[in-house]
Chain A
Amino acid sequence: MQQVSEIIDYCQTLYEDLSFAAAREWKAAEQGRKVVGYMPVYVPRELIHAGGMLPLGILGGGEDLEVIHGDAYYQSYICRIPRSTVELAVSKRLDFVDGMLFPSICDVIRNLSGMWKLMYPELYVRYFDVPQNYKDEIGGNYYVHELQELRQGLEGICGRTISDDDIRRSIAVYNENRRLVNAVYDFRAREPWKAPSWHVYLLMRAGMILPVEAHSQLLQDYLAAAAADDQPMRDNCRVILQGMFCEQPPLNLIKSIEFAGCYIVDDDCMLVGRWLLRAVPAAGDPIANLARAFLKYSTETAAKYEPDGSRKGRYLIEAVRQRGAEGVIFAAPSFCDPALLDRPMLANALTRENIPHISFKYAENSGQMQPIREQAGTFADSIKLWSEA
């Protein structure tokens, strides 16, 4: 059996590699292989996989990429992920990518899709829109149409028809991956001292670059190794992290929060693997099944439109109860409209339920962790020493 440290070291190598060598190697291993990049928060990776292509999560340049050209494309009051993503492209780190999907998350990412079309007219570039209306006959029909268009676009890249059977097989593969991703999250919530959040984070990041089958195997190996790893439980408080669904936090930020005395028992980083809450039926019309899954049982988050204002924040309160969390840390990227505009409503919902919460902002290249340690440390102390529980 592999050791936890071996698995995490491997994931960290993938995480730090801004040339995406693993994806390049996958592509080079067989002639005709194609890679399709996608940005946060959600795209139906099943369709890419069904075309025999590799879905590649592009989550910005992280803390180690020096952004030189990217800053010229955006105003100073825009978040960092589009700048560093442009930097990745301009510096030819994404020159092996055959198509790019920009999901509907905010105006900045929508604009980025337009820039990509201008910069790379030979590439398949799609702004992937999702419904804001969850009725079958309105949002449902719209989304089925959107998925069909995406399917046709992807067929143009892989050069073959993507059949219903192809999609059904991919749905089954991703169902298994989702099951394992959820199993890791559940394991961490149960025994957070055995699954530090920076481990879990790196594991999920590996899923952005590895083929899904390899990622599922990695998750399985980790679960076995971590369960056997005898780590002592520390007297930490249990918190949920919110607001990290698009621009990713530096790894040190996650470590700092844990070192400061908080076990992170849930988070919303990399929601693509957890967007659909149940297994998608692998039988029947696969496009209709994917559309129905999005409409009826996809995750609630600040990144998704909630038509019923009275339900705002309910998912977070339920997550607190379900995970046995004692507080919520809102950590959002600077200038992230979806996260920051929702934060007051979510915070109010928590306050009404007497759930402690704090908030701060970060950028993917934030280096100074002292203020974050300070905030998280005092938050943990206030829960441990002064909460009524």
Chain B
Amino acid sequence: MAITAGIDVGTGAIKAVVFEVENGGRGEIKWLSKRTEKIRRRDQHKLAHDTFKDVVGEAGVTEGDIAYTATTGEAENLAFATGHFYSMTTHARGGVHLKPSSRAVLDIGALHGRAITVDGRGKVLGYRMTSQCASGSGQFLENIARYLGITQDEIGPLSLQADDPEKVSSICAVLAETDVINMVSRQISTSNILKGIHLSMATRLVKLLRVIKVTEGDLLLTGGLALDVGLLAALKETIADFKIDVNAFSHPDSIYAGAIGAAIWGAFRHEKLAQLGQLAKAS
């Protein structure tokens, strides 16, 4: 058994988890604690360290009990980490942990969307990311919510109420924002605007899935937008429109997928380093 921590520093939030992992991730994986902190213009590194301390405390263990602290996302140079994993690797593993039947993961964060195909071990088989433009991202949706005067939590439920959605530009965030301004002036309802945005984002994401040849099986949404029920519904509609046999799911802990994957891979590395006799140096 090894107690490991995973810290996912995203653009908008820091997610941290602590697990007790058996047999390098091949045995039982037990949650000990989890925590999310919005960054809100605070110092990322300091906040990551504070969040780590808090989540370790909530797990009822000490920092000394943590066998491997794994980071992912934008946390490459956190001094207290044992090792770092690239976010695609961690979302793939985290996705398979949360929904073992998933063979594809859609990580939708504040700045990027990323489609990943995985095998049952959580190994990345292929991936594709959205381009530099932010129109398929959580940051864009957050900005639009602010313009429309609603909270982020209201986005999904309002989108589900739409009856006549109008799509926005799916290429450019600037053009999309202009579209939204036009819609507001044309008195299109907030629900229909939000649903239109969700459909545009879903179209981009399903195209990514198609590029990496995801045509069937279970797909798990991870990242900050995974719990947006409006986006999930739009994604299901778009998948049906594209006539592919994919079942999209979300999970209550989808937002932690990166941190979960980091913690599990950390346990795997901890075991491997022990076998190689390098544990003392790297922990």
Contacts and interface: CB of A to CB of B under 8 A. Distances in A.
Interface string B245-270: 00000000000000000000100110
Given A233-B282, A260-B84, A378-B124, 20 more contacts: A233-B281, A234-B81, A234-B82, A234-B83, A234-B84, A234-B282, A235-B68, A235-B83, A236-B84, A260-B76, A261-B76, A261-B83, A261-B84, A377-B85, A377-B86, A380-B86, A381-B85, A381-B265, A384-B269, A385-B269
A77 interface: no
B89 interface: yes
A386 B273 CA distance: 14
A259 interface: yes
Given A233-B281, A233-B282, A235-B269, A384 B83 contact: yes
B210 interface: no
Contacts of A385: 89, 123, 265, 268-269
13 contacts: A233-B281, A235-B83, A235-B282, A236-B83, A260-B76, A377-B84, A377-B86, A377-B89, A378-B86, A381-B86, A384-B272, A385-B265, A386-B123
Interface of A: 232-236, 259-261, 373-374, 377-378, 380-381, 384-386, 389
Interface string B86-103: 101100000000000000
A54 B81 CA distance: 44
Contacts of B82: 234-235
Contact of B89 (A232, A234, A235, A381): A381
Contacts of B68: 235
Contacts of B85: 261, 377, 381, 384
A235 B83 CA distance: 5
Contacts of B84: 234, 236, 259-261, 377
Given A235-B82, A385-B265, A386-B123, A378 B282 contact: no
Nearest to A375: B86
A378 B83 contact: no
B77 to A, nearest CB: 6
Contacts, number: 53
Given A259-B76, A378-B124, A235 B86 contact: no
A350 B74 CA distance: 32
A378 B88 contact: yes
**Main secondary structure on chain B at its contact with chain A?**
mixed
Contacts of A374: 86
Contacts of A233: 281-282
A299 B158 CA distance: 67
A381 B87 CA distance: 10
Contacts of A259: 76-77, 84
Q: What 4 pairs between A and B have smallest CB-CB spacing?
A: A235-B83, A377-B86, A259-B76, A381-B89
Nearest to A377: B86
Nearest to A261: B84
A236 B268 CA distance: 14
Given A235-B83, A259-B76, A378 B89 contact: yes
A261 B82 CA distance: 11
Contacts of A381: 85-86, 89, 265
A260 B89 CA distance: 12
Contacts of B273: 235
Contacts of A380: 86
Nearest to A376: B86
Contacts of A236: 83-84
Contacts of B265: 381, 385
A11 to B, nearest CB: 20
Contacts of B124: 378
A198 B68 CA distance: 26
B4 to A, nearest CB: 12
Contacts of A260: 76, 84, 86
Nearest to B84: A261
A265 to B, nearest CB: 15
User: Could you say which of B76, B86, B124, B265 has the most chain A C-beta atoms within 10 Å of its C-beta?
Assistant: B86
A259 B88 CA distance: 16
A374 B112 CA distance: 13
B259 to A, nearest CB: 16
Contacts of A384: 83, 85, 269, 272
Interface string B110-136: 000000000000011000000000000
A345 B125 CA distance: 27
Contacts of B269: 235, 384-385
Contacts of A235: 68, 82-83, 269, 273, 282
Contacts of A386: 123
A165 B268 CA distance: 61
A236 B76 CA distance: 11
A389 B272 CA distance: 9
Contacts of A377: 84-86, 89
A364 B259 CA distance: 35
